[in-house]
């Protein structure tokens, strides 16, 4: 998917929402545990209830891998279900991978050849040769961790040398490895005030912004500081949407929550003259 196709979808749906499929077997409604694949049953109903107000889904691999082979099957079924029924929706493997070159190449194969993800989150710590193997896949995206939403972000990411913070260095250096058509960055919504400076470095790249909803980041601040002429934002919410209810009405309630976020997004897109 190109950035223009993503933007067209954002305008069509008046939404830059990414629903995080962080599907926890201990949190899903109990009645689903009687089905053959409770994780997929949950995801399918969430997708059916939210696909018209979301432009991306982001399964976080930890929730699937923690269940062994069954979790992996649920993940594959989820990706196939989205691809088959909603081919315009961007799918992110939130796997935070990155290793020596030949190993990264195998990770890329797993997500882009074996499964039909559009993108994968990658950690930059091991440098260029750990990221490049993901970038050689045509029409696929790397979403590189830049400034994360968690408290631990302050352990390393703000370290400064020659007036440059580590996360700024990561963005500047890695931007030369790929293009605006195959590289996005993660910037946490909890650090939205940094987005204006980040936009000085990468005005055009798409950003994946997690941290609204359960982590308390502000959508308005994110849009104020980070939106560009093609929107340039995918804002993720996981728990804030998918766990709106633990009863049989869980998908309807998730939809209600997604619509609240989407309506705020529509307002922001309008204010920025994009719709």
Ligand X SMILES: O=C(O)c1cc(=O)[nH]c(=O)n1[C@@H]1O[C@H](COP(=O)(O)O)[C@@H](O)[C@H]1O
Give the range of 97-105, 143-151, 159-167, 195-203 binding ligand X by CB under 6 A.
143-151
The correct pick among 1, 39, 186, 234 for binding ligand X (CB under 6 A) is 186
Exactly one of 98, 213, 226, 232 binds ligand X (CB under 6 A); which one? Answer: 213
Name which of 223 and 274 has its Cβ closer to ligand X.
223
| 236 contributes a contact to ligand X by CB under 6 A | yes
The DSSP-derived string for the chain is --HHHHHHHHHHHT--EEEEE---TTTS-GGGGGSS-HHHHHHHHHHHHHTTT-SEEEEBHHHHHTTTHHHHHHHHHHHHHHHHH-TTSEEEEEEEE--SHHHHHHHHIIIIIIS--SEEEE--TT-HHHHHHHHTSTT-EEEEEEE-SSTTHHHHTT-EETTEEHHHHHHHHHTTTS-TTTEEEEE-GGGGGGHHHHHHH-SSS-EEEE-BGGG-B-HHHHHHHH-BTTB-EEEEESHHHHTS-SSTTHHHHHHHHHHHHHHHHHHHHHHTT--
Does residue 257 touch ligand X according to CB under 6 A? no
Min separation Cβ 80 and ligand X, Å: 21
When asked if residue 230 is in the footprint of ligand X (CB under 6 A), the reply is no
Asked if residue 118 binds ligand X (CB under 6 A), the reply is no
| Site residues (CB under 6 A) for ligand X, limited to 30-89 | 60
96 classed as catalytic: yes
User: Which position among 3, 148, 182, 262 is part of the footprint of ligand X (CB under 6 A)?
Assistant: 148
**Catalytic residue ranges:** 96
Please report, as ranges, the residues that interact with ligand X according to CB under 6 A: 20, 22, 60, 94, 121, 148-150, 186, 188, 210-211, 213-215, 236-240
């Amino acid at each position: 998917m190109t950035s223009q196709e993503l933007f067209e979808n954002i305008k069509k749906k008046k939404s830059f929402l990414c629903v995080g499929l962080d599907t926890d077997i201990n949190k899903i409604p109990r009645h689903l545990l009687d089905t053959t694949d409770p994780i997929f049953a949950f995801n399918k109903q969430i997708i059916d209830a939210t696909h018209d107000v979301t432009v991306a889904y982001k399964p976080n691999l930890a929730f699937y891998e923690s269940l062994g082979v069954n979790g992996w099957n649920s993940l594959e079924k989820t990706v196939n279900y989205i691809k088959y029924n909603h081919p315009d929706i961007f799918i992110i493997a939130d796997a935070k991978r990155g290793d020596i070159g030949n190993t990264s190449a195998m990770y890329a194969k797993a997500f882009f050849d074996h499964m039909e993800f559009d993108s994968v989150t990658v950690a930059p710590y091991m440098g260029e040769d750990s990221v490049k193997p993901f970038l050689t896949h045509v029409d696929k995206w790397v979403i590189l961790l830049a400034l994360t939403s968690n408290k631990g972000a302050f352990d390393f990411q703000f370290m400064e040398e020659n007036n440059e913070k580590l996360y700024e260095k990561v963005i500047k250096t890695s931007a030369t490895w790929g293009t605006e058509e195959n590289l996005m960055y993660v910037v946490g919504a909890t650090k939205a005030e940094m987005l204006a400076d980040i936009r000085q470095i990468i005005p055009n790249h798409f950003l994946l912004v997690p941290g609204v909803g359960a982590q308390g980041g502000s959508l308005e601040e994110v849009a104020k500081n980070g939106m560009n002429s093609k929107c340039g934002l995918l804002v993720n919410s996981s728990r804030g949407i998918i766990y709106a209810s633990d009863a049989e009405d869980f998908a309807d309630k998730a939809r209600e929550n997604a619509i609240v976020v989407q309506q705020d997004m529509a307002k922001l897109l309008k204010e920025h003259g994009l719709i």
